[in-house]
Amino acid sequence: MSKIKSPISNQRPDTRRSLPGIDRLLSQPSGASLIEIYGRALVVEALRSTLDAARECIARGEDIDLTDNALFEQTQTMLDAWLAPTLQRVINATGVIIHTNLGRSPLSEAAIEAVDEAARGYSTLEFDLATGKRGSRTLHAEAILCRLTGAEAALVVNNNAAAVLLALTALAGPTRDAPQGRGAIISRGQLVEIGGGFRVPDVMAQSGAQLVEVGTTNRTHLCDYEAAIDVGTALILRAHRSNFTQIGFTTEPTIAELAEIARRHNLPLLDDLGSGALLDTAQFGLTPEPTVQDSLQAGVDLAMFSGDKLLGGPQAGIMVGRSAVIDKLRRHPLARAIRADKLCLAALAATLTHYLKGEALTCIPVWQMISAPLDAIGARAEHWADVLTQVGLDCRIIDGQSTIGGGSMPGEMLPTALLALRVASADAASIRLRACRPPVIARIEANRLIIDPRTVLERDEADLLASLRGLGQ
């Protein structure tokens, strides 16, 4: 059928009646092909939407192609849009290593293989092979965590916010003897807000614990903690400022000093470390980040941290510390609601194994990026420039800075070599790159497209260059 222009007269109903019926379309080879790919119910729904849209165009007097081929093309476009995944792999060329918006830490190859193995069939998630009886999912990462950190026990939940919520609820939340909850002491300078609007005061309120603020925004002393402790105090909490820094006239007790006060008053000391570094960041020219091991050695009863930041693993909330504290958390009803699933535990165990074997710097992508030598980054940028110059792109290598990101180590930068592309419109080029498959996410500076090799995985290099070549065509 040829194109039909809908008249502006009383003939419109006749034009609408010229549309084919759904049954006739489904009986054609193109209809059968769509059903084979997408399923009958979805194809029928899409065809109905396509025909409804055609009727609306006719009613407005618009030119519209009513051939069967055109209707099938529109229907397939609609089906593809409906089924297109919103969670896609992207190439991170921004230089932000732990990029929250791009999924934070990429997994190591071993962690990916462990997830694949756990996902493909059944597993020993809660089964003990030795006894043939039910086991516990909490065991899969606990032994490795205890060996790495020196903790007596460990527990994994689905993220660090959940870990903090569980700890406060179980240790300071409402009970029969204290229906209003008990006091959790924290410095005013640590009442932080992290990404997504997660605020420490809000999570404390949600837990039912009574927030007891001490000190001032910039200065808190040991005597402030001492003065706040009473019969209603349940714990002391230290929250690491992992996404901002305080400079100038500031004071706060060390974690060891807080541990001494907690021991003297028989109170548990909780340490929310945020990023959860297991390696010394100073060796890479960065400000020393408190490590989990240091926290426990200082006397902390419970340390909490993320699995997908500096640890370089999957999203998880990890708790390590004294057995008496961990056991209380493990038995709390909330622990089941926020527990980690088998894919998380598989990836986490594989990631932690890299640390045990001393191969974190060579196997975990986050640490590969942090420890990457500047000359190696420069060599990659030079190679890319040579390739892209051959297709007519104006490329330059300039000095720059990479960022740790992800609410970790605020203000910390690593020197890098950047590939700068001068194009007619950096905004337009950025849009084109985001439309590639896989999408490429870059930076724009001074109307130049900026590519930082530090955060481009080796397995993504070929796809990156193919997309960048397209800018020169």
The tens-digit pLDDT sequence of the chain (473 residues) is 334 343 433 444 445 567 899 999 999 999 999 999 999 999 999 999 999 999 999 888 888 888 999 999 999 999 999 999 999 999 999 999 999 999 999 999 999 999 999 999 999 999 999 999 999 998 899 999 999 999 999 999 999 999 999 999 999 999 888 999 999 999 988 877 765 566 777 888 889 899 999 988 788 899 999 999 999 999 999 998 755 566 666 788 899 999 999 999 999 999 999 888 999 999 998 888 889 999 999 999 999 999 999 999 999 999 999 999 999 999 999 999 999 999 999 999 999 999 999 999 999 999 999 999 999 999 999 999 999 999 999 999 999 999 998 766 667 899 999 999 999 999 999 999 999 999 999 999 999 999 999 999 999 999 999 999 999 77
What is the per-residue pLDDT for 406? 72
> In whole angstroms, what separates CA 81 from the centre of its chain?
25
Q: What are the residue boundaries of the structural domains of the chain, listed by start?
A: 4-82, 91-99+368-472, 107-360
pTM for this structure?
0.89
What is the per-residue pLDDT for 5? 40
Fold match, 91-99+368-472 / 107-360: no
What is the per-residue pLDDT for 2? 38
What is the per-residue pLDDT for 247? 63
Q: Which architecture does CATH list for 91-99+368-472?
A: Alpha-Beta Complex (3.90)
What is the per-residue pLDDT for 32? 95
What is the per-residue pLDDT for 375? 97
What is the per-residue pLDDT for 12? 44
Task: Identify whether 438 is preceded by a cis peptide bond (ω within 30 of 0).
Answer: yes
Overall fold of domain 107-360 = Aspartate Aminotransferase; domain 2 (3.40.640)
What is the per-residue pLDDT for 64? 85
